[in-house]
C-alpha cells in the first residue's frame, strides 16, 4: 500500500490512526490507561473509592428483584453527590464519576440507562449532572456531560433510547416529556483545517440548549446545540430543531418550522 493510500485510509505515519482526545487517553500505555479509567469512573477520587465502586458495579448494580433495588438505593448514597429519598435505580445502570451527579427524591432511573459526568484532562474543567425530584429516565437512555453541565427539572420524563449530551450546558425545565430516540444537544465538530483529520480538531464550544417547562419533544427529534425552546412548546416527531422555538409553538419538519400555536 502506498503512502498516499495509507493517509487516505486515516493512518498517519509514526502517529497511528486519527483519534479523538478521549480515545487517546483510553488507549495510552498501561499506566496511562489505568489512570484514565479511574478518572472516567470516579473522577479525581482515589484508588479506595474506585475499588468500592468496582465492587458496587460487580455485585449490586446487576442484582435483580426488590433486594437489588433496595441495595442500590442504599449504596448509591455513598457515591452520588446527592441521592434523594425514594430513589429507584434499575438493573445495570451505568454511573461514571457519580460524585458529580445529583439525583432528587423519588426519581426513577430505569434499567441499562447511563449517566456520565466527565472531567477534561487538558483544561481541568469539571462537569455536573443535576436531576430534580420525581424525574424518570427510561431504559438505555444516555445523559452525558463531556464535560459540561446538565440540569433536568422536577418530573422531567425521558423515554427509552434517548441521548442528551453536551460540552457546554443543557437545561431542561419541569415536567418536560421527551419521547423515545430523541437526541438533544449534539455539538459540532470543527472542520476548519482540511489537512487535519476531523476527529483531531476537537469540538466547537456552543451556547448550550435551554428547554422551558411543560415541553413535549416527539420521537426521534433532534435539538441542536444553541437552541432555546420556550415553555409549552411541542416538537413534532422526526423534527430537526436548529433555531429557537417560541413559547406554546408547535413545530415540525427538517428543519423545524412553526405550524401553529397552542390556544
- Active-site positions read 189
Question: How far apart are the C-alpha atoms of 208 and 226, rounded to whole Å?
Answer: 5
DSSP-derived 3-state class of residue 64 = coil
- Nearest by Cα to 156 from 216, 223, 242: 216
Cell 460524585 sits on residue: 99
CB 10 within 8 A of CB 197: yes
- Nearest by Cα to 149 from 173, 176, 123, 168: 168
Question: How far apart are the C-alpha atoms of 206 and 42, rounded to whole Å?
Answer: 26
Secondary structure percentages of the chain, helix, strand, coil, to 5: 20, 30, 50
Question: How far apart are the C-alpha atoms of 155 and 168, rounded to whole Å?
Answer: 23
Question: How far apart are the C-alpha atoms of 144 and 26, rounded to whole Å?
Answer: 17
* DSSP tally for the chain: helices H, then strands E: 5, 25
Amino acid at each position: 500500500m502506498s503512502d498516499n493510500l495509507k493517509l487516505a485510509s486515516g493512518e498517519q505515519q509514526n502517529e497511528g490512526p486519527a483519534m479523538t482526545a478521549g480515545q487517546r487517553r483510553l488507549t495510552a500505555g498501561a499506566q496511562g490507561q489505568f489512570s484514565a479509567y479511574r478518572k472516567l469512573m470516579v473522577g479525581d477520587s482515589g484508588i479506595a473509592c474506585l475499588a468500592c465502586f468496582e465492587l458496587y458495579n460487580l455485585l449490586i448494580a446487576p442484582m435483580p428483584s426488590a433486594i437489588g433495588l433496595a441495595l442500590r438505593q442504599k449504596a448509591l448514597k455513598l457515591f452520588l453527590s446527592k441521592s434523594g429519598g425514594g430513589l429507584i435505580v434499575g438493573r445495570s445502570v451505568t454511573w461514571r464519576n457519580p460524585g458529580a451527579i445529583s439525583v432528587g427524591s423519588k426519581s426513577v432511573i430505569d434499567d441499562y440507562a447511563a449517566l456520565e459526568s466527565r472531567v477534561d484532562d487538558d483544561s481541568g474543567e469539571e462537569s455536573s449532572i443535576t436531576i430534580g425530584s420525581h424525574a424518570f429516565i427510561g431504559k438505555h437512555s444516555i445523559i452525558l456531560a463531556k464535560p459540561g453541565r446538565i440540569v433536568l427539572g422536577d418530573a422531567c420524563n425521558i423515554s427509552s433510547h434517548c441521548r442528551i449530551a453536551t460540552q457546554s450546558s443543557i437545561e431542561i425545565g419541569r415536567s418536560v416529556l421527551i419521547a423515545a430516540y430523541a437526541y438533544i444537544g449534539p455539538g459540532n465538530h470543527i472542520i476548519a483545517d482540511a489537512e487535519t483529520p476531523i476527529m483531531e480538531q476537537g469540538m466547537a464550544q456552543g451556547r448550550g440548549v435551554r428547554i422551558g417547562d411543560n415541553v413535549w419533544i416527539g420521537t426521534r427529534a433532534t435539538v441542536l446545540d444553541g437552541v432555546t425552546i420556550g415553555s409549552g412548546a411541542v416538537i413534532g416527531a422526526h423534527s430537526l430543531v436548529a433555531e429557537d422555538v417560541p413559547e406554546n409553538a408547535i413545530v415540525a419538519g427538517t428543519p423545524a418550522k412553526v405550524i401553529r400555536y397552542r390556544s
